[in-house]
Structure formats: structure tokens, C-alpha cells
Amino acid sequence: MKEWIEYAAVWVILKGLGVLPRPLARNFAAGVVRSFYALLPGMRKTAEVNLRIAFPEWSDAQRGAVMRGMLRNLGWMAAEFARFPKYSKENIEQIVVLDGHENFLEGQRRGKGVLYLTGHIGAWELSSFAHSLYGFPLHYMARRIDNQKIDALVNGYRCLSGNRPIFKNESARVMLKVLKEAGTVGILAEIFLGRRPARPPGLRAWRCILTRRSCPDMPFGMNAAKNIVCVSSRPWS
């Protein structure tokens, strides 16, 4: 029963955001995220601890400004995610601009596969989705969501543009196969500041892969004024 209730709540929010005008959806989603943040003291404490570790010289006001920006960005990302069914090859250029795409094309030209290395920052969901709509589908690394129905819903949206998931329990084997076939794989790094992360499976294989493949990184951000997402790629060294 709990699984169904969680799924219903996510479904209603996702579909509701999808029918709202884009500016309204982004503002509403940002408000929802801020509300959840206010009701979850554990999340607030984690954010504060991580920022203190990363930027010990910052004032409380500076850290507060970053946290508010983070919450706004998460809301915007949720709104963009909900609009995936509305994005297509015909209109994606109005939403996402590719910068430095020649670096990806150069890696692809070498014929050994391409790895995108990035993080859970900016418009990470929209960037990979748009990459496929521009004509370059990829495989993305993902962790399964505990609720199987929500997992199917979320990955169903992610795959609407032609992308495909690589789940972390099968990461090394599938990644090697994709790269051997000159495909593209996107990896979003996890950032742990307050504790030591568990070593993911296949880490040794990843190190081997990174020494042999073209590895652009992909920073991206949302422009609040123009509502445009800029996706930049540059060679990783």
C-alpha cells in the first residue's frame, strides 16, 4: 500500500507540473522543494555540514544563499523533467544550447566510445535528455529507486528521447560493451564530503576505461533570465 501511495503522489506532481506553463511550473516546484527542505531537519543538517567542510571560510549568509539557490535549482529541474514529453527534435534548440559540442564529436570520431563525466549539478537530467534529441543518444548511469513503480516512471521519462540506463549493479560489464561498440556513456559522480563513500562495483574496471577513452566533462547551468540551459563540454584531463 505504501508503494502505491508514494507512486500516486509522484505521478500527480509529475503530471501536474507537466501541464502548467513552464515559468509557473518552475516557481511552483521550487516552492514545493523549499517546503520539503523546511520539514526535513536531517537534510538541512547534511547541507550545512557539507558546505562548512567545502567552504570553511564562508559566512553563514554565504552558505545560506547557496542552499537557497540549490533548492531553487532542484525545483526547476523537477519542472523540466515533468516537461520531457513536450520536448522534441523540433523545439529542443529553444530550451537547450550545446557549447563545445565539437569536443564530443572529436571523441566520437576516434571510434573508441565517449564517456561524459559530470555531477548532480545544474540541469543534469535535461542535459542528457537534450543530447539525445540533438541526435546523439547515450547510456546513463543510474541507481534504482527503492519504489519499483516510481523507478519505472522516472526511467520511462528519461528514456523518451532514446537514452538507455545502465544500473549500478551491472555498470562495468554493460559500460564496456557500450564503449566497445563506440557508444556514449554518461556518469554523474556522487559527492561525499562528510563521510567516506562506499566503493562502487566495477571501480577498477572504470579506471581502466578512463585511461583508454575520450572523456569530456559536461558542466551545465540554467539561465534564470532567458530560461535557457547551456550545456558545455570540454576535454577531460
Q: Is the pLDDT of residue 202 over 60?
A: no
Last residue of a domain, one of 21, 47, 82: 82
Question: Mean of the per-residue pLDDT values for the chain?
Answer: 81
Residues 63 and 112 in one domain: no
* All three cell numbers of 223: 539561465
Choosing from 24, 54, 82, the residue where a domain stops is: 82
Q: Indicate if the alpha-carbon torsion angle 24, 28, 158, 103 is positive or negative.
A: positive
In this structure, the answer to whether residues 206 and 158 fall within a common structural domain is yes
pTM, entire model: 0.80
Q: Give the domain range for residue 38.
A: 2-82
Q: Are residues 77 and 128 located together in one domain of the fold?
A: no
Residue 169 located in a structural domain: yes
List the one residue out of 197, 194, 196, 199 whose CA is nearest residue 54: 194
The answer to the question of residue 87 being in a domain is no
Q: For 69-73, 142-146, 216-220, which range has the lowest pLDDT when averaged over its residues? A: 216-220
Burial class (CB in 10 A: 0-12, 13-18, 19+), 32: middle
Which of 82, 113, 130 is the last residue in one of the domains?
Answer: 82
Return the minimum-mean-pLDDT range out of 7-11, 29-33, 139-143, 209-213.
209-213
Q: Is residue 22 part of a domain?
A: yes
Residue range 128-178, pLDDT digits in tens: 899 999 999 999 988 899 999 999 999 999 999 999 999 877 777 888 889
Whether residues 156 and 54 share a domain: the answer is no
Residue 147: burial class (beta carbons within 10 Å; 0-12, 13-18, 19+): middle
Q: Output the CA angle 174-179-181, nearest 5 degrees.
A: 100
**Distance in angstroms (rounded) separating the CA atoms of residues 17 and 20:** 5
Hey, what's the cell of 30?
521550487
Q: Which amino acid is at 226?
A: K
Grid look-up 533548492 returns: 71
